[in-house]
Chain A
Amino acid sequence: MTPPAAPTPLIDWHALGQVLLTSVVLGVGVVVLFSVCVFSLSQFRRVGATIAVRATNAVVMTATLAAIAASVVWGLYIIVHK
């Protein structure tokens, strides 16, 4: 004897929770990455910055921009394949 199937919930709380979690991680993540990139650019352009400082900031800028580009590509992938 099989138990009766549980009724489908009116509101899909699980999906809502996933939207919130994904949005927090990605939304805040991308903004933080870009802010770090802007800060590094500012340090890179600062008058009197040493070569070491410039090189470090160039690496940080490249890394953050690459991460942001990857997230944008992922966003486009979602649009196309949803």
Chain B
Amino acid sequence: MHNSFLLALVILVALVFDFTNGFHDTANAVAPTVATGALKPRMAVILSSCLNLVGAFLSLKVAATVASGIVQQGQIILPVVFAGLIGAIAWNITTWYFGIPSSSSHALIGGVVGAMMAHAGGSAVIWGGITGKVLAPSIAAPIFALLIAALATTISRHLTAKSDNTTKSWGMRVGQIGSSSLLSIAHGTNDAQKTMGVITLALVANGTLGANSATPKWVVLLCGIAIALGTFIGGWRIIRTMGQGFTKLSPTQGFASQVTSSVVILSSSHLGMPLSTTYVATGSILGSGVGTRKRSVHWSLAGRVGVAWLLTLPCAAVFGAASFYGERLFGYTVGVLVMGALLAIYCVIIFARSRRDQIHAGNVNDHWGEHLEAFEKSAKTAELVTAGKS
């Protein structure tokens, strides 16, 4: 009875995580499209949402591999999975509030690792797997994306230099719609499967499914719908940061960055290198800024986002561990209810605070424009002051 209740709660929280993954990562596929006006913001999000749903149904082969090589699977119990998900959701909501494009996958891994350490100690974590499967790709992938996008943008700029601006702008915007669509499908199939893997693991841990069982169809359907709904809501705060914050994107830059992101994500998935779609998309956008004539990138913002990336694994781990200790304190059955309620209260507080400075489809570009003007004005003032002093 308790196990069924706990299992139902784990599935519910896993779907909530999938939903937050959707709205947190909407920016990966649509930010350049929205920023360059290739599609209206709401239309871009609807398209991405539908294609995320399609992507969730395309492949199931990686669904059961989400935790393999990260923690000792034999020691996983349902409260650990629950606590890990709580940690991941808490970090996702926090970074969404600050408009920081951080990795939902790393938040999930961090949360599960933290909860596992609280449950069974550090020996239950496969540290070599963390280094090889998580840290190395997460450092390499954005650097690859940055370099490739910079090169692609530079070459494209030169190749289309003698094209008339109207045709170039129109052509690149059309290309962006295609590349954004491919990126949305890739995101749907990669990220929805992570939640499918978590739910499948929970079903196996509970004895509902046998070991090595296939992911049930209802799990695929629910995960696909959850990530699509999350994408549909649209994480406008992060779309603003990625679309306007790092650099002023032109259609050429937008196209180059989205093609780069799609290719890096698909080739790494094909070659078995798990990586964060968010880090790749961010690296591509930065690279497209480097590839412009003026090399205009707001590195200070990129630096702040980099710090958040470094904090993602440890912070989600701390949230996950704290959640697990909380569950154990109250007893697992009551504990998961208490921790779930605390998470719900935290989410309500964050959403209420976000309404004071609301970002939506109507102001996703305008608002950041004002912010940029203020940023540039203060930078100019600082330069004048420095010049005056010298």
Contacts and interface: CB of A to CB of B under 8 A. Distances in A.
Interface in A19-74: 19-20, 22-24, 26-28, 30-32, 34-39, 41-43, 45-46, 72
A15 B267 CA distance: 10
B148 A27 contact: yes
Contacts of B264: 19, 23, 27
Interface in B251-306: 252, 255-256, 259-260, 262-264, 266-273
B131 A10 contact: yes
Contacts of A18: 267, 271
B148 A42 contact: no
Interface stretch (B13-21, B97-105, B150-158, B338-346): B150-158
Contacts of B271: 15, 18-19, 22
B349 interface: no
B136 A42 contact: no
Contacts of B256: 31
B271 to A, nearest CB: 5
Contacts of A12: 132, 136, 273
A79 B172 contact: no
A12 B61 CA distance: 21
- Range class of the A interface residue count: 35 or more
Interface stretch (B2-10, B85-93, B178-186, B316-324): B178-186
B272 A15 contact: yes
Given A10-B132, A28-B151, A41-B171, A19 B266 contact: no
A48 to B, nearest CB: 13
A30 B263 contact: yes
A23 B148 contact: yes
B210 interface: no
A23 B137 CA distance: 14
A42 B168 contact: yes
Contacts, number: 139
Given A10-B128, A10-B131, A15-B272, A39 B266 contact: no
Given A16-B136, A27-B148, A78 B159 contact: no
Nearest to A26: B263
B55 A79 contact: yes
With a 10 A CB-CB cut-off, give which of A18, A30, A34, A72 has the most chain B CB atoms.
A34
B175 interface: yes
B156 A19 contact: no
B58 interface: yes
A39 B311 CA distance: 44
B52 interface: no
B59 A80 contact: yes
B127 to A, nearest CB: 9
Contacts of B132: 9-12
Nearest to A13: B136
Contacts of A9: 132
A10 to B, nearest CB: 5
A4 to B, nearest CB: 19
Contact of A78 (B131, B171, B255, B270): B270
B61 to A, nearest CB: 6
B140 interface: yes
B163 interface: yes
Contacts of B332: none
A76 B178 CA distance: 12
B157 to A, nearest CB: 8
Given A38-B163, A45-B167, A76-B185, 5 more contacts: A27-B148, A28-B152, A31-B260, A34-B172, A41-B171
**Which A-B residue pairs are the 8 nearest by beta carbons?**
A42-B163, A38-B171, A31-B152, A35-B159, A22-B267, A27-B263, A35-B156, A42-B167
28 contacts: A9-B132, A11-B131, A12-B132, A15-B271, A18-B271, A19-B273, A22-B271, A23-B267, A27-B259, A27-B263, A28-B148, A30-B263, A31-B256, A31-B259, A32-B152, A32-B159, A34-B156, A34-B175, A34-B259, A35-B156, A38-B171, A42-B160, A45-B164, A76-B185, A78-B269, A79-B59, A79-B189, A82-B270
